[in-house]
Amino acid sequence: MRRRIVAANWKMNGSQELAKSLVGDVRKGIAALDNEAEVVIIPPALYVASVQQLLDGVAQVGVQNIAAWESGAYTGEISGKMAADVGCGYAVVGHSERRQLFGESDAVIAEKVGQGIAAGVQIILCVGETLTQREAGLAVEVVSAQLREALKDVSGEQWKQVVVAYEPVWAIGTGKTATSEDAQAVHQAMRSQLSEMGAPAQDMTLLYGGSVKPDNAKELFAQPDIDGGLIGGASLKASDFLAICKAI
């Protein structure tokens, strides 16, 4: 059975004060949820310990990025093993901001996937097309290629550690959202591509991200191939994030 996941990507936002107020409210709300949603909070790495302590086990914690190497002279990097060592269950890999702003290639992302899997953390692999690519009718082609490259070395039981998040680049932080039908079409194509790669596609969790809000979450999550969301801006307001969690 597919897991239903709502993950909060705080990006480079936060403070000790925000963590205390936001996580305190989110924790109370999670405890009151009457569905089977698995909630994951993904703060900046500096706040992981604080968030873990404040959550007190009611939700998982993740990191926003991991290195393509296990260890070594890579100042500023965080390895998959380090993330696992401090109790992080998830790691985001391949977010479009990492691809665009930091020049991460599909080859680098594949290395990060491998490091995360070897460390025992769950990978949330982000894929998505730009507006230019969508307007050219290349959305499915682009996303499928990203899946093939990033997950080329995954096999067997390792697939259980992979979650895929479709985040159309043109919808991230813009207020624009793919229609539920458009998002479903890409998710269905992703499941087909994963199946072609030998993955247990029907059992894998596929998330949607890209300006998910309380007023569109229910319609998005009702689609047959959308199993939850990777939430950005709305995750910084407890009431909005909890409303999205309830929409599962």
Residue 170 in this model has a pLDDT that exceeds 90: no
Residue 134 in this model has a pLDDT that exceeds 80: yes
Dihedral sign from CA coordinates of 68, 123, 246, 48: negative
38, 95, 129, 187: which is the annotated catalytic residue? 95
Residue 173 in this model has a pLDDT that exceeds 90: no
97, 111, 129, 167: which is the annotated catalytic residue? 167
**What span, in angstroms and rounded, lies between the C-alpha atoms of 181 and 201?**
20
Cβ atoms of residues 110 and 149 within 8 Å: yes
Task: Report the predicted TM-score, pTM, of the whole model to 2 decimal places.
Answer: 0.96
**What span, in angstroms and rounded, lies between the C-alpha atoms of 42 and 240?**
16
Check if 187 is active-site. no
Residue 232 lies in domain? 5-246
CATH code for the domain in which residue 68 is found: 3.20.20.70
Residue 177 in this model has a pLDDT that exceeds 80: no
Question: pLDDT tens for residues 85-104?
Answer: 999 999 999 999 999 999 99
**What span, in angstroms and rounded, lies between the C-alpha atoms of 85 and 72?**
16
**What span, in angstroms and rounded, lies between the C-alpha atoms of 164 and 143?**
11
State the average pLDDT for the chain: 96
Residue 192 in this model has a pLDDT that exceeds 90: yes
- What are 224's two structure tokens? 């047959």
Burial of 235 (0-12, 13-18, 19+ CB in 10 A): buried
Residue 181 in this model has a pLDDT that exceeds 90: yes
Question: pLDDT tens for residues 21-68?
Answer: 999 999 999 988 888 899 999 999 999 999 999 999 999 999 999 999
Residues 6+ positions from 162 with CB-CB distance below 8 Å: 113, 117, 122, 123, 125, 151, 154, 199, 204
**What span, in angstroms and rounded, lies between the C-alpha atoms of 51 and 7?**
14
Residue 183 in this model has a pLDDT that exceeds 80: yes
Looking at residue 99, its pLDDT comes to 95
The number of distinct structural domains making up the chain is 1
Residue 19 in this model has a pLDDT that exceeds 80: yes
Residue 50 has a CB neighbour count (10 Å cut-off) of: 16
